[in-house]
Chains A and B, each alone.
Chain A
Amino acid sequence: KAGVTQTPRYLIKTRGQQVTLSCSPISGHRSVSWYQQTPGQGLQFLFEYFSETQRNKGNFPGRFSGRQFSNSRSEMNVSTLELGDSALYLCASSLKVTANTWELFFGEGSRLTVL
């Protein structure tokens, strides 16, 4: 069974540019979450989508946005890039395993470097 696929794996941008990252979840998973991981802050939640609707949102500025398509694939966009946006961006697809618990499965991430 294919895992979570993220593209691109690596990218370099300059300040002020924008970037779009893509995520294909595990087949059958309808929930997709995005996280930012940096050495200083650890894993920080960006947003979660379920059935094309944003269900939860973290504490990130409006420059960070996302969407989900009808096939559950998701994209996130960061506009007006800043140096501090350099990070590993992780996508996770979720499976409901009990009435109250969802398990997250992560992709390999997209490493963004902003110069």
Chain B
Amino acid sequence: EDQVTQSPEALRLQEGESSSLNCSYTVSGLRGLFWYRQDPGKGPEFLFTLYSAGEEKEKERLKATLTKKESFLHITAPKPEDSATYLCAVQATGGSYIPTFGRGTSLIVHP
């Protein structure tokens, strides 16, 4: 069974304090790993797709990296507006294209 585990569950940072969120996954094979940002009461907003180990993608203060067992979302010099829940999902080979989602990391950035 495909599994996705995100850590930590919650993270509090001061503005400008860089950190990383972790997404560990167990799948038979990986089609793609996705990162989403979700604001309270809203739908998840697509951020990145990573396909293979060693791949990296960046968007503003966010950088996502991928290894064979985990992905990291690095947040550089975060601002209060980066506060949100960050969700990770994996799409596995074999069977359907339905992704398995992690429970998310709730990030709060204090000014």
A102 proximity list for chain B (CB < 8 A): 91, 97
**CB contact list, B41-83 vs A, under 8 A:** 41-46, 49, 51
Given contacts A97-B49, A100-B31, contact A43 B101 (CB under 8 A): yes
Q: A45-B98, A56-B98 are in contact. Are A101 and B49 (CB under 8 A)?
A: yes
Interface size on A, residues (CB 8 A): 27
Answer whether residue A21 sits at the interface, using C-beta atoms and an 8 A cutoff: no
11 contacts between A and B (CB under 8 A): A4-B43, A42-B104, A45-B98, A56-B98, A98-B51, A101-B32, A101-B97, A104-B34, A104-B89, A105-B46, A106-B43
* With contact pairs A42-B103, A101-B32 given, residues A109 and B98 touching in the complex (Cβ less than 8 Å): no
Residue of A nearest to B4 (CB): A42
Cβ-closest 8 pairs across A and B: A106-B43, A101-B32, A43-B101, A42-B103, A102-B97, A100-B31, A56-B96, A106-B44
Say whether, besides A94-B97, A101-B91, A109 and B42 are in contact (CB < 8 Å).
yes
Binding site for B on A (CB under 8 A): 4, 6, 33, 42-43, 45, 48, 55-56, 58, 88, 90, 92, 94, 97-98, 100-109, 111
List of A residues within 8 angstroms of B93 by Cβ: 100
Q: Does B87 contact A (CB under 8 A)?
A: yes
